[in-house]
């Protein structure tokens, strides 16, 4: 038995891959047809000249550590609104991220979703914010099995991100920015991640460590 | 810059000498397709550097996204108790498309795990170690899977073998 350890498992892999591809192929085919149809209707034109090093961040409000976090009222689902004020009383982790449906499995929101019990130990509530609409958030949250709210900074687009100084007008999305707000609504830590780099959670946990435990906040 | 907060010790699943000039730690998820892609790349890098490299693997199962990832990790930990961690680790990545309980059982048996050990994997006997790996990873700035740390610093660059070999040639 032990001598077959390499070959035995491989067989199962082939068997399972033979059983599954039909659905995948159909989807791939559909995607290809859609791509072709789009290409036909909207032929690619020369891209606008963009300097990749420059982001057009709206800095009209530059929120810093020690400042009061601006209140907001944003849709979490098509019929539920969440305000910052109602979250106060415990630490809040605000996660601004560029967009739902990022094509990576270990993306930022999925990581935080795995960490909810660790945030709970601090009594902290984590909230995601992007410019996607509430229906989009609902579908995304369902797909990724997210168990924390995603807020839609959708109309007027990016208004809350602008208040927090983390709107990127060139891409029309928020930056990848993290805020840790204490139970009284004061910004205690802030981090804006370089474009394309998922900041992880070490900074968030370090910041939560410096706060008084929930209940005393 | 995110730093590894827990350095590699004999308690880690590792290949190569702990005092090698290149120490790579992978935080990985057995069901993550990107980890699956990375698996042969790292093998190539290890082969290239031989005993100049130490490679350690720590668990980072994204359980919501990958329902079998934690179970697979439990089987690898069970195999580790009889010194067969790497056999199981390799079998899992080489058969990533089939990680259901039956398949895991089959790989475990092929490697030589007893019924008792298999039961221990199913009974959450190793869950604490896996969770400890996870929270240590989070603390160190693991931001998805796979995340690599090279000599204690999170590596954000290209992960193909050629890029890694080129980088390691510079630091080795």
Query: pLDDT over 90 for what percent of chain A?
Result: 60
Note whether B107 contacts A9, CB cutoff 8 Å: yes
Q: What is the ipTM of this complex?
A: 0.83
Per the structure block, which two tokens stand in for B22?
Answer: 């290149």
Question: In this complex, is the C-beta atom of B66 within 8 Å of any C-beta atom belonging to chain A?
Answer: yes
Contact A1, B110 (CB under 8 A): yes
Per the structure block, which two tokens stand in for B75?
Answer: 């089987």
Nearest to B35 by CA among B139, B166, B159: B159
At residue B8, the pLDDT reads 97
Note whether A118 contacts B111, CB cutoff 8 Å: no
Closest Cα in chain B, distance from residue A202 (Å): 5
Q: How many CB pairs under 8 A join A and B?
A: 114
Note whether B63 contacts A10, CB cutoff 8 Å: no
Q: At CA A141, angle to CA B35 and CA A176, rounded to 5?
A: 70
Catalytic residue among A105, A196, A197, A202: A105
Is residue A105 part of the annotated active site? The answer reads yes
Q: Are strands A167-168 and A57-58 parallel, antiparallel or unpaired?
A: antiparallel
Note whether B98 contacts A13, CB cutoff 8 Å: yes
At residue A108, the pLDDT reads 86
Q: Please check the confidence at residue A34 and state whether its pLDDT lies above 80.
A: no
Question: In this complex, is the C-beta atom of B33 within 8 Å of any C-beta atom belonging to chain A?
Answer: yes
Q: Please check the confidence at residue A44 and state whether its pLDDT lies above 90.
A: no
Question: In this complex, is the C-beta atom of B106 within 8 Å of any C-beta atom belonging to chain A?
Answer: yes
Contact B79, B108 (CB under 8 A): yes
- Is the preceding peptide bond at A140 cis, omega within 30 degrees of 0? no
Q: Is B144 left (phi over 0), alpha (psi -120 to 50) or beta?
A: left
Q: Which residues of chain B have pLDDT under 50?
A: none
């Amino acid at each position: 038995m032990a001598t077959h350890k390499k070959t035995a498992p491989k067989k199962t892999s082939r068997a399972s891959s033979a059983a599954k591809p039909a659905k995948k192929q159909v989807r791939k085919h559909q995607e290809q047809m859609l791509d072709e149809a789009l290409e036909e209707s909207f032929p690619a034109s020369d891209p606008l000249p963009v300097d990749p090093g420059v982001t057009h961040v709206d800095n009209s409000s530059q929120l810093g550590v020690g400042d009061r976090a601006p209140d907001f009222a944003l849709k979490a689902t098509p019929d539920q609104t969440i305000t910052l004020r109602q979250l106060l009383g415990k630490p809040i982790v605000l996660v601004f991220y560029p967009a739902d449906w990022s094509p990576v499995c270990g993306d930022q929101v999925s990581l935080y979703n795995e960490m909810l019990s660790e945030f709970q130990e601090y009594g902290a509530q984590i909230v995601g914010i992007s410019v996607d609409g509430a229906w989009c958030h609902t579908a995304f949250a369902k797909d990724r099995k997210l168990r924390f709210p995603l807020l839609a900074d959708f109309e007027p687009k990016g208004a809350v991100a602008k208040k927090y100084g983390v709107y990127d007008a060139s891409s029309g999305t928020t930056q990848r920015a993290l805020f840790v707000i204490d139970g009284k609504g004061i910004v205690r830590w802030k981090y804006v991640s370089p474009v394309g780099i998922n900041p992880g959670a070490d900074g968030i946990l370090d910041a939560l460590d410096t706060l008084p435990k929930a209940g005393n906040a | 810059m995110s730093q590894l907060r827990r350095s590699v010790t004999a308690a880690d699943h590792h290949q190569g000498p702990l005092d090698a000039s290149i120490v790579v730690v992978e935080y990985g998820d057995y069901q993550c397709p990107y980890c699956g892609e990375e698996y042969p790349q790292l093998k190539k890098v290890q082969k290239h550097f031989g005993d100049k490299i130490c490679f350690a693997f720590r668990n980072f199962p994204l359980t919501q996204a990958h329902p079998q990832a934690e179970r697979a990790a439990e089987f690898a930990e069970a195999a580790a108790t009889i010194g067969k961690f790497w056999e199981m680790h390799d079998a899992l990545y080489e058969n990533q498309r089939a990680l259901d309980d039956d398949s895991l059982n089959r790989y475990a048996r092929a490697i030589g795990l007893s019924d008792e050990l298999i039961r221990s994997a199913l009974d959450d006997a190793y869950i604490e170690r896996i969770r400890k790996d996870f929270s240590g990873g989070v603390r160190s700035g693991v931001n998805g899977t796979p995340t690599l740390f090279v000599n204690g610093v999170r590596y954000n660059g290209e992960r193909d073998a050629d890029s890694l070999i080129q980088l390691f040639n510079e630091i080795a």
